[in-house]
Amino acid sequence: MADASMSLELGHPRCPMCAQEFASGGTRARHLALCCPDLIDPEGWAAGDGEVVRRCAALRHPKASFRWAVLSRRFGWTDDGNGDEKSAPADGDGAEAVEGEDAPAPEPEPDPEPEPEPEPEEPPEPKRDVWRVPVFIKAAPPLTEDEETFDPNDDDEWVGHPTTVQHVEVRAVTRGGKSSVVVDNLDEVPGSAELTYDLDFGHVAVGDRVVRSIGLRNLADVECGVGMSAPDHEGVFQTLTASRPMPPLGELDVKIAFQPGRVHDYHEIVTLKTSLRTIRVAMRGAGISPALDVEPSDVVDCGDAVPGDCKNATLTLTNPTAFPQRWRAEVRNLSSPGQSTSRSPFTFSPGGGVIAPNGTCTVTLSFTPDAPGSPYGYEKMFDGTIAVVVAGGGGPGAETTRELRARCWADGSFVCGGDAPDGEGDDGDGDHFSKDRVLPPAVNAVGLRTGLREPRPRAPYESIELTLPGPIRPGDTSSASLHVGSVKNADGGGSNAEYAFASFDADDVAKGWRVDEPAGSVAAGDRKKVTFTFAYPPAPRPVDPCHFGIPETVRADVTCVLRGGAPAPSEE
């Protein structure tokens, strides 16, 4: 350090290092020998050696206490080395020994006192550390007209300007390790300027609620009160544990609840205040809207089957989010008329699980009917809703639904596409069947006792109604279609089906009825569309109500004969 930070003159008896004023020359000698024994000659200082003074002014020794201990043993000093001693004998302090004189006899030492009994150890006092940091402030000289810039690194420009010294005190108190409260179940936040613990709630569905705990343990032998600062008023984080004292060497779990109200990342810091320590906890959680992409995107059709057969349909679930999602699949609002047992004919494999972020999962839906469905010819014999539910429901998008359809036929060949039964249809809620459907009276006393329902007796023929769109005016046409199909077994086997529609009566033909392909064959697993057309004559006959402007419903009956097709498996 430059000697400009301190003023020294030979006429003032002060130490060049600590500015301590001396009482005598001997005191100065011992003090300088303590501060700078390597460069200071005590006799030179007493004689006023200016070179020694200059060198001493630029010297600082960080181990003054250690040097004092060494020199005090060497010279017999007894004070604390601060320069205020008056009577300690030392070299150069004016006290000289006279030859020939006897030194005074030493006084007898008193008997040693008995050692006191050791007292019980008290808890260690907190350790306090204090640092004093000097800050040197120099005033910059004003610029003259000839000077445009000022170089702060040029020592010549600082000459003649005063220097101000300020000190900043830093105080720290360290408590004993066993006189505190610790957190057992949380990790510290890495890189934080202040000790902070991390409480992570993870991804939580919007509207759902998750509870976590902060485990506190009291290491002290005294009771410790525990309190907590109030979380934010928004109410996303809530404290469930009331303030209470924690017994000595006891434990306490502080419950915190996280319930997000929207899709957002939440962060908050709370403070646990105890009588021994203050603990900072950083709470964080993410409100999410769980959703899975399901394919097919509209209708899941398990196809056509016969009793005892098994047909499979495939669903693909995709997790488009950056976090894993737990899911389950179920069938709701199922209508399965004609089944002889209460077992659901639909099963999922797998029925649930966890999909990794941006991952996919393939789900197989199996259709295993045990009896033909009803009514005959209806596309939605077995009808319901597939629901893929993501765990933590309550938020938007937590559930994905798809319409479910399937059919079961008594024979391998069939005709379908007819009208829905009376009072049954799509009412806008996805329920295609009437709620008050009455099952056919096909249960006897034996069936009730055994818990099984006897098969529904088969009619001599099946009836299908096909209504063409209308009304139409004379000269217009209207058409609708039926489908003739053949069932393919689960193992891929089957046979072709043949069909033949009888000719319309002559009166029906005169009214305008016709069929585009009255006979043909269908391969196993396929369907063939047969279209019926009604073309009302441009000039109604005088016997028809339409001739007088009265609405008229025209009806025709036609018979279809089916042959072939794979039969239903025989019951063993």
User: What are the tens digits of pLDDT across the range 285-323?
Assistant: 988 877 788 999 889 999 888 888 889 999 999 998 878
Summarised one tens digit per residue, pLDDT across range 356-367 is: 988 999 999 999
The pTM score is 0.49
The residues spanned by each domain of the chain are 27-75, 181-288, 293-409, 476-564
What's the pLDDT band for 9 if we cut at 50, 70, 90? very low
What's the fold here for domain 293-409?
A: Immunoglobulin-like (2.60.40)
Half-sphere exposure of 30 (CA within 13 A, CB side): 32
Name residue, tokens 């200059």: 54
Which has more confidence, 461 or 242? 242
3-state SS of 528-566 is: EEEEEEEECCCCCCCCCHHHHCCCCCCCCCCCEEEEECC
% residues pLDDT > 70 (the chain): 59
**476-564: same fold as 293-409?**
yes
Looking only at the bridges linking them, the beta strands covering 278-288 and 196-205 are parallel
The pLDDT-based confidence of 156 (bands split at 50, 70, 90) is: low
CA atoms of 327 and 354, how far apart (whole Å): 6
What was the pLDDT predicted at 213?
A: 94
CATH number of 476-564: 2.60.40
| pLDDT, mean over the chain | 73
Confidence (pLDDT) at 410: 83
User: Across-strand partners of 134?
Assistant: 167
- Give the distance, in angstroms, between the CA of residue 83 and the centroid of all CA atoms in the same chain: 68
CATH class of 181-288: mainly beta
State the first-to-last Cα distance of the chain, in angstroms, to the nearest integer: 108
State how far the Cα of 31 lies from the Cα of 15, in Å rounded to an integer. Answer: 8
